[in-house]
Amino acid sequence: MKTIISAGTRSNPEISFDTEEKVFTTKGISTIVNAFEFYDLAIAWINVHEHELEGDIEFQFHLPYFNSASMKGILMLMERIKKGIDSGQNWSIAWNVEDEDEFLLDACESFQEMLGIELRIIRS
């Protein structure tokens, strides 16, 4: 079953959790002006439902474009995921990138450096 945490629009990504596949997905364009408020909804959902996120959970990010405000919000979400990893949850983060997209590859590298963890890169 797929739980929609936030439906996607022209300016914000869809955020969902697939209970069968055990995949938490953030997918779409993110050009939100108040990204902190938007991504805080996902963080709050994780806080409330963390007990349901046991076992191997992969957090996948499919963000072909995001603005600088969104980058900060995405980082906040990833920091929450890292907090779960640091507390013993078997969670991982995957970063989807189109082949040859240097912007997204650089963003992935920046997130890895800021978080101090490795992100699995999925090339498409």
Q: Where are the domains of the chain?
A: 2-123
Tell whether the torsion through CA atoms of 90, 81, 86 and 83 is positive or negative: negative
Confidence of residue 54 (pLDDT cuts 50, 70, 90): confident
CB 76 within 8 A of CB 40: yes
**Residue recorded with tokens 């992100």:** 119
**What are the tokens at 120?**
């699995």
Cβ-contact 96, 65 below 8 angstroms: no
Query: What's the whole-model pTM score?
Result: 0.94
- Token digits for 43? 């963080």
B/e letters for 13-45, b = 16+ CB within 10 Å, e = fewer, are bbbbbeeeebbbbbbbbbbbeebeebbeebbeb
61, β-bridge pairs: 26, 95
With 90 as the cut, is the pLDDT of residue 99 above it?
no
Fold annotation for 2-123: Transcription Regulator spoIIAA (3.30.750)
The pLDDT, as a whole number, for residue 120 is: 95
User: Is the confidence at residue 119, as pLDDT, over 90?
Assistant: yes
- The confidence score (pLDDT) of residue 52 equals 85
pLDDT band of 98, cuts 50, 70, 90: confident
Task: Give yes or no for residue 69 having a pLDDT over 90.
Answer: yes
Taking residues 105-121, what's their average pLDDT? Answer: 94
Interval 9-13 mean pLDDT:
96
